[in-house]
Amino acid sequence: MVAGQIRIEDVVKIFRHHDGQETRALSGIDFTVEAGEFVSLIGPSGCGKSTLLRLIAGLEEANSGALYLDGQKITRPDAQRGLVFQNPYLFPWLTVQANVSFGLKARKVYREKKDEVKKFLHLVGLKDFGQVYPHQLSGGMAQRASLARALINRPRVLLLDEPLGALDAFTRMNMQDEILRIRQEEQITMIMVTHDVDEAIYLSDRIVIMTPGPAKIETVKKVPFPRPRARSYPDFLRLRSDILNILNFGGHLEEPPYQI
């Protein structure tokens, strides 16, 4: 895969309702995700994180500003930007293998690329489950299938909209390691929406912290320590506390007693 750069330039998104009222979801969003980076978007519920992800995917259109993939303006959905949702949304009448193959068939490239189906099932740890139906899968396995379905189109950027939010804590941590392994093997740009600060620190190169709607970028935090990362490591906990303070969930200290 070839990792892509995402450039977001002064993007504004306004939703207009049937009663004539307007909701400004995003206000002047401007930043760049470099090729091969893992960037997480965090902020209060309803602040516009998923809206921004849908703009990058091409599922929504900005009212002003522009978004670019490798210098090309994003105007519509495209296989170069894969999207994984919180719920896997697998077709229940199709096997795992058929679900993963679906994008190739829709693009009419299945015949020449059908050998890649087994490769991507193996990549996500489902090589022995190709003939299983979605209702026979655990939540974590279903999300693995959803990842394979997005990755098989070889996108330059993978967009993750709270992909682990519905999983139990232990499965979630295991899937975080799987996402890092896939990123390492495929060298792909990843942008993830999450409400979990620990998850953002564990996975990301940088964390974009957004304000309550209409969302602006409050600050961008670089995660300054290498992988693999221990969740109990003092620097991990310091950065966690710093981010929680920015989000106003850090308690009542006047100022943090350290510098990140």
pLDDT average, residue stretch 72-99: 94
Instruction: Please tell me the predicted confidence (pLDDT) of residue 259.
Output: 53
- Global confidence as pTM: 0.92
CB 113 within 8 Å of CB 120:
no
**In the block, residue with structure tokens 């670019």:** 68
CATH number of 6-235: 3.40.50.300
User: What are the tens digits of pLDDT across the range 141-194?
Assistant: 999 999 999 999 999 999 999 999 889 999 999 999 999 999 998 889 999 999
Instruction: Please tell me the predicted confidence (pLDDT) of residue 253.
Output: 44
31 exposure class (CB count in 10 Å sphere: 0-12, 13-18, 19+)? middle
User: What are the tens digits of pLDDT across the range 192-230?
Assistant: 999 999 999 999 999 999 998 788 999 999 999 999 899
Instruction: Please tell me the predicted confidence (pLDDT) of residue 114.
Output: 87
